[in-house]
Structure 1
Amino acid sequence: MKRRLALRALQLTAAATIAFLAVYPGKAHADVPYQTYYKDQYHQQYRIQTAYRPEGALGRELFIADPESEGGLKHSPLNQPQDLFIDAQDELYIADTNNNRIVHLDSGGELVRMLTFPDNPLNRPQGLFVHENGDMYIADTGNNRVLRVSAEGEVLAEYGRPDSKLLPDSFKFDPVKLVVDKRGFLYIATLGGYQGLLQLDPKGEFQGFFGANRTSFSFVDSVKRLLYTREMYEREISKLPGSITSVDQNGEGFIYTVTKEVGQGQLKKLNIAGLDQLSGKGEFADSLSDGRFGETIRDPNAVRQTAPQLNDLTVDADGNMTVVDSRLNVVSQYDGNGNLLFFWGGAAGDTTTKLGLVKTPAAVANDSANNLYILDSENNVIQKYELTEFGALVHQANGLTQDGRYEDSEPLWREVYRQNAYYAPAVLGLAKAAYKRGDYAEAQRLFKDIGLAQGYSDSFWQNRLLWFQSQFGLFMNAAIVFFLIFLLAKKLGRRYGKERVRKRREFWRGWKAMSTQLGIVSYLIRHPLDGFYGIRHEGKGSVAGGSAVLLIALASYGFIRSGTNFIYNPSIIVDASVLTPLLQFAVVWLGFVVASYLVSSLNQGEGRFRDVYTASAYAMFPFAIVGVPLTVLSGVMTLNEASIYGFLEYGLYGWAGLLLFWQVQGVQNYSVGETVKNLFLTVLTMFIMAILIFITFSLTSELIGFIYSIYQEVAIR
């Protein structure tokens, strides 16, 4: 009998060992079951080297004392755990939610103890925090309380719903995650708590809400507020800010939060005043982030990308922030300024489990060596990830850069750049180092390589200043020469004044003749309304002249879109093609001409189609007169002159818009009120035409597909 039991135990042990090795294959890191990616500020995604590799699985083999079981031990695995905390000694604490207990493991993953508190039992605890003094704070969600426990497991205090007049009656105290600062103040994330983190003092007194999200307000909401009555607006469903999902803190006192139900600002770094430090701009405005956190691995076959749902976060000793996505199973890591470092992950199989893939990430934490631990609430296990050589190199180089030690970081960034020349943080680090040592030409080149406008502008400003300083003597000599020439010309002008006047008159006669041949552009500049009236009623201008001006304007627009400095035209970094903008320009212009003629014909307009065409073509000349010089000028401007560039650019489009207005008024012989009405109906007609064209193309494609399917049926039969 004993021999049979021993044999049976040996078989069970062998089976358990094989199953465990299938999930935990020791140190074999040749392959990882996921790809690591980087995404730049223009949303271009590409693969990079693995930054974290799976190291092992912890918390799978848990046993409790049971006299009735063989050997006196009973296997008691985790059951949908929801939170994980790692203390300064790298020991792990798990909120084992469905088992209503706290599991304490040592740094190697061996069981230390299980806390159940028989006299004061837990009810679905979802969060915990271990203070530096050893006290443990447990978010006992089912009991609507926070439990404070000593290092020995003795219950010290309970924090229930605060008794405060400042709390609304509708507020429900369902704590899910929490942190405690050095003063003993509690910051508690509650279920559905859109007001922000609940802040309590060490005695449990309510101190206020902290770090609330803002309510999103769309254009539709503004229209509703403008048009709805008060009663109608009050019947609308209230729009509330997203509730904070999880919270963490670092040694510097910053509070970090993640939120699911927002489209921007999902990750926040809050100072003591509750202000988000990730929304500001640091040196060179070097945030490569657009304020959206939580990455998605783009699927080229997907019609619509699924939005991320951030569930938890952790902050390591270097200030790097790691978030996990409970919907997409993606792990994203950002530096202390919110710049993306890398992201990885993917969906785990339904029937098999691979080391490194997490089915339902519930929590994430890191130890003192910056290893990551992700709690899988479906597989009831903790997966450990360690930094690869590439990941450690990025962390070290980026940490030096964040500290302002650019010269020390440069050799490390050069090694990262050698391994991956498309990794933007490496180029940014090298650009900062070049700027700090005064190599502005190199910094300008590197900033341009990654499309960072502020850094490029600052570097170019320095280069431009140095160039002016070196050429100052030449400029002064040239100014003196021009001044002397001016004095000489003035003196000669007095002697040969009559001859000069005669030549000037001949010049202007020649210019007027040329102007008559090429069109009336010069006249439109001075007298736009009279000029457009003359096109219809005095026979000024011509279809050929208008077409020539239109072609020049079209070419100028293409030059504007392709030649403008990238600091004013960031889209040129992603797509240098001008074919699409030119087609858009031509289609919109032609649509305006057709719609304007149709509307004017129904509203007693006097213009013929050729008049509308010719006048609308002449109205595009500002793109050549203003747009081309402005594009050339943008090449020597920095962001310090952005207001000047913006004024001229808005002036360009404003001038073109006014010319179209005067064109309708002059050609159709309208009053100002009739012109406004005509333009409104023209825009409406263009919108209807666009819808009809879209429907026509859609139905045509469907018809072609239907005919082709019939052809296939006939051909097969």
Structure 2
Amino acid sequence: DTGNQRIVHLSPTGRFVEEFTRPDSELLRDTFTFEPTKLCITPTGYMYVLRGENILILDAYNNFRGYMGQTDIGFRLLDVLLRIFASDEQKRAVHKRKAASYINIAMDENGMIYAVTMDYTTGEIKKLNSIGNNIYRKYTTVQESANFFNLDFLITMSLDSSSFVFGERRDEDGASIKPLFRDITVDKRGIITVIEENTGKIYQYDQEGNLLTAFGGKSNQKGSFSIPSAIEVDDNGCIYVLDGVQGNIQIFEPTTFILMVHEAVNLYEEGEYDEAYAAWEKVLEIHENYPLAHLGLAKSLFKQKNWKESMEEFKKADDRDGYSKAFVKYRYDLFREKFTIVLIVIILSVIAFLAYIKTINKLSRKGVQKYYDGENYRFNIADNLRLSLRVLAHPIETFELIKNWRDSISVVSGVIILALVFIVRIFYMFTVHYPLADIDIRDSNIFLEAVKILLPVITWTIASFSVTAILEGESKFKDVFVASSFSMMPYILVTFPLALISNVISRDEKTLYAFILNAAWIWIYFLFYLQVKTLNDYKIGKTIGICIISILNIVLIWAVGLMTYFLTGRLFQFISGIYQEFKMIFN
């Protein structure tokens, strides 16, 4: 009874039994208001009452037992600065951040609490344990504290993953929306059913947060809703939905297909993996493209220790984390069964890697020596390419040679290097281990990949030369282009072997792999800095300033390019429209 600020206990016949009002506790402030909206009762008699961003706990004697379930709002540097420097008046004037509010709550027969919230950061649907921590599937984690010397970026990398959200982020017209889950219920098998207001759809999830089905919509027809406000499910799986606008309750009976899905999920949860496998196969017989069925098969095969088959099913389900876990098990068994062969392969791989490094070093020394030995020697493209290898360990020397021998350095060598950069990128996309891929090959676009990897280098050349030409720079456009191309050599020499090595690495073992990739990119960025300094004989401070201006110049070039692209498209549409008008007039 929200309006009267109380909770009322009635008998099955509607007779008043007792009421619970504002609890008397020293832990509650004088400003505390008791306005209960939703609640659930545990088998032990405790009441969990929604109160904004918290869940209030009361016992059967109306005693306050604490709060639970508040969503973490994370760290914000501004809050720290305000606490240190702001006056009391300024602190009061600043809007205080609040945790996401709860909307509704439910409890299963085991006393586990489920809730729907307005938490768009970690997930709107929550499953709370006894101490109020969310143990359900999450979008991401909230940063709890600040580390001003955090170097985690060195060991992290962007990995492709199936995007996951509860509900939908687009309506039928394609407009962006935020889901507003009005109610939640859980059946005896642990199947979670929620109702979402903006789309008017019902969503069902299993205990791991996997979507089982979605149906409904916004309309006045049967099977759809105007404003769904409450939902419940019975022991037979029938769903009851209250529509607050239409003033009716619609009942949905589960189909044969969804009952089969529920059965397969339940068998897996109970540890009946063979039966679960058979059940998921029956699901696929009806709906061969049902993604959760492949995931169910993969998990069942994993529990049966059929690692290779499990990897194949995880791949069909596009679950890279699951694939990686199965791969670790498969690799371990392979090492045990064929230890001698694996040891020989490892030794040969180490020898090949050492030979690779030795060859690069030898070619780079040979390339640079020719520039020191022969003034009358006619340098060819091969000499230029060998010189480019020198940039790995001796970048200043290499850029000095580009500057001093600019007439002997060919632009073609720079073009070849950029072409190799693109080829290595494509090679990486097709050969990197599935769980470590940074893009789904099915969603890739060759032209877009070329733009992403080559456009920054080309625009840097234009931007950097235009800035240095104004600010007393000594470099020529050709020098900047060749030096920029040479600076991309670490990408070629590091990415190529890493793509091959990745095929024996799992997703959880990516730390060293990511460190090497990120270190290569950091070295590339440093090479771009060094080429500006060396080619133009700038001091350190001026070089940093020139690099910043060049980056801003790149942004300007891209902005002008995009504007020109859109204006050209509009102009083409305008001319095309005029042509069509004349065509209609004279016809």
TM class by shorter-chain length?
A: 0.7 to 0.9
Q: Residue type of the partner of 1:412?
A: A
Contact 1:558 1:582 (8 Å CA) reproduced: no
- 1:293 corresponds in structure 2 to 166
Deviation by residue 1:567-621 (Cα, 9 ceiling, x = unmatched): 1125315514333121122222211111111222233222111111110011111
After superposition, the Cα gap between the structure-2 partners of 1:703 and 1:572, relative to the gap in structure 1 and judged at 3 Å, is same
- 2:248 corresponds in structure 1 to 381
| Structure 1: distance between partners of 2:93 and 2:462 | 44
Deviation by residue 1:344-382 (Cα, 9 ceiling, x = unmatched): 121113xxxx32212211100011112111111112111
Are 1:635 and 2:503 matched, yes or no? Answer: yes
Q: Which residue of the other structure, out of 447, 460, 483, is the alignment partner of 2:327? A: 460
Are 1:252 and 2:252 matched, yes or no? Answer: no
Map 1:107-506; keep pairs closer than 5 Å: 140-190=1-51, 193-194=52-53, 196-215=54-73, 222=77, 230=86, 235-260=93-118, 262-279=120-137, 292-295=165-168, 299=172, 301-302=173-174, 304-349=175-220, 354-474=221-341
Are 1:700 and 2:562 matched, yes or no? Answer: no
Q: Residue type of the partner of 2:205?
A: Y
Contact 1:362 1:375 (8 Å CA) reproduced: yes
For these two proteins, the number of residue pairs brought into alignment is 539
Contact 2:368 2:386 (8 Å CA) reproduced: no
Q: CA deviation at 1:475?
A: 5.9
Q: CA deviation at 1:421?
A: 2.2
**TM-score relative to the length of structure 2:** 0.84
Deviation by residue 1:533-554 (Cα, 9 ceiling, x = unmatched): 2211343643122221121112
After superposition, the Cα gap between the structure-2 partners of 1:163 and 1:712, relative to the gap in structure 1 and judged at 3 Å, is farther
Secondary structure of 2:49 counterpart = strand
| Structure 2: distance between partners of 1:215 and 1:507 | 53
| Structure 1: distance between partners of 2:210 and 2:397 | 56
Contact 2:124 2:166 (8 Å CA) reproduced: yes
Secondary structure of 2:464 counterpart = helix
Q: CA deviation at 1:177?
A: 1.0
Q: Residue type of the partner of 2:262?
A: H
- 1:644 corresponds in structure 2 to 512
| Structure 2: distance between partners of 1:397 and 1:169 | 52
Contact 1:546 1:614 (8 Å CA) reproduced: yes
After superposition, the Cα gap between the structure-2 partners of 1:716 and 1:280, relative to the gap in structure 1 and judged at 3 Å, is closer
After superposition, the Cα gap between the structure-2 partners of 1:224 and 1:165, relative to the gap in structure 1 and judged at 3 Å, is closer
| Structure 2: distance between partners of 1:680 and 1:313 | 52
After superposition, the Cα gap between the structure-2 partners of 1:203 and 1:227, relative to the gap in structure 1 and judged at 3 Å, is closer
After superposition, the Cα gap between the structure-2 partners of 1:370 and 1:625, relative to the gap in structure 1 and judged at 3 Å, is same
Q: CA deviation at 1:633?
A: 1.3
Select the structure with the greater relative contact order (CA < 8 A; seq sep ≥ 6): 1
Are 1:528 and 2:399 matched, yes or no? Answer: no
| Structure 2: distance between partners of 1:587 and 1:510 | 28
Q: CA deviation at 1:296?
A: 5.3
After superposition, the Cα gap between the structure-2 partners of 1:479 and 1:202, relative to the gap in structure 1 and judged at 3 Å, is closer
After superposition, the Cα gap between the structure-2 partners of 1:436 and 1:511, relative to the gap in structure 1 and judged at 3 Å, is farther
| Structure 1: distance between partners of 2:552 and 2:521 | 20
Q: CA deviation at 1:185?
A: 1.3
Q: Residue type of the partner of 2:46?
A: F
Contact 1:321 1:334 (8 Å CA) reproduced: yes
Q: Which residue of the other structure, out of 576, 586, 603, is the alignment partner of 2:471? A: 603
Contact 1:592 1:686 (8 Å CA) reproduced: yes
Contact 1:295 1:332 (8 Å CA) reproduced: no
After superposition, the Cα gap between the structure-2 partners of 1:167 and 1:571, relative to the gap in structure 1 and judged at 3 Å, is farther
Secondary structure of 2:258 counterpart = helix
- 1:43 corresponds in structure 2 to none
Q: Residue type of the partner of 2:556?
A: I
- 1:616 corresponds in structure 2 to 484
Q: Which runs of 5+ in 1 are unaligned?
A: 1-139, 282-287, 483-504
Contact 1:416 1:426 (8 Å CA) reproduced: yes
Deviation by residue 1:54-93 (Cα, 9 ceiling, x = unmatched): xxxxxxxxxxxxxxxxxxxxxxxxxxxxxxxxxxxxxxxx
Contact 1:260 1:311 (8 Å CA) reproduced: no
Q: Which has the higher strand share?
A: 1
| Structure 1: distance between partners of 2:470 and 2:368 | 40
After superposition, the Cα gap between the structure-2 partners of 1:541 and 1:168, relative to the gap in structure 1 and judged at 3 Å, is farther
After superposition, the Cα gap between the structure-2 partners of 1:313 and 1:640, relative to the gap in structure 1 and judged at 3 Å, is closer
Map 1:549-588; keep pairs closer than 5 Å: 549-569=417-437, 571-572=439-440, 574-588=442-456
Q: CA deviation at 1:389?
A: 0.7
After superposition, the Cα gap between the structure-2 partners of 1:601 and 1:379, relative to the gap in structure 1 and judged at 3 Å, is same
Q: Residue type of the partner of 2:423?
A: A
Q: Residue type of the partner of 1:550?
A: L
After superposition, the Cα gap between the structure-2 partners of 1:532 and 1:223, relative to the gap in structure 1 and judged at 3 Å, is farther
Q: CA deviation at 1:291?
A: 6.4
Q: Residue type of the partner of 1:558?
A: I
Q: Which has the higher helix share?
A: 2
Q: Which runs of 5+ in 2 are unaligned?
A: 140-160, 350-361, 371-379
| Structure 2: distance between partners of 1:289 and 1:250 | 29
Contact 1:664 1:675 (8 Å CA) reproduced: yes
- 1:495 corresponds in structure 2 to none
Secondary structure of 2:383 counterpart = helix
Secondary structure of 1:632 counterpart = helix
Q: CA deviation at 1:716?
A: 4.1
Secondary structure of 1:143 counterpart = coil
Map 1:35-50; keep pairs closer than 5 Å: none
Q: Residue type of the partner of 2:388?
A: V
Two-structure CA RMSD over aligned residues (Å): 3.1
| Structure 1: distance between partners of 2:324 and 2:119 | 36
Q: Which range is displaced more, 531-540 or 243-252? A: 531-540
Are 1:669 and 2:572 matched, yes or no? Answer: no
Contact 2:308 2:330 (8 Å CA) reproduced: yes
Contact 2:50 2:102 (8 Å CA) reproduced: yes
Q: Residue type of the partner of 2:188?
A: A
Deviation by residue 1:118-157 (Cα, 9 ceiling, x = unmatched): xxxxxxxxxxxxxxxxxxxxxx122121111223433222
| Structure 2: distance between partners of 1:607 and 1:481 | 45
| Structure 2: distance between partners of 1:413 and 1:572 | 26
Deviation by residue 1:662-710 (Cα, 9 ceiling, x = unmatched): 1112112222222222221122222222222223333333333344444
Deviation by residue 1:611-666 (Cα, 9 ceiling, x = unmatched): 11110011111121110111111122212421121112112212211221211121
Secondary structure of 2:212 counterpart = strand
Contact 1:144 1:175 (8 Å CA) reproduced: yes
Deviation by residue 1:426-476 (Cα, 9 ceiling, x = unmatched): 111211222232322211111111121222122222332333333334467
Q: Residue type of the partner of 2:217?
A: G
Q: Which range is displaced more, 338-347 or 668-677? A: 668-677
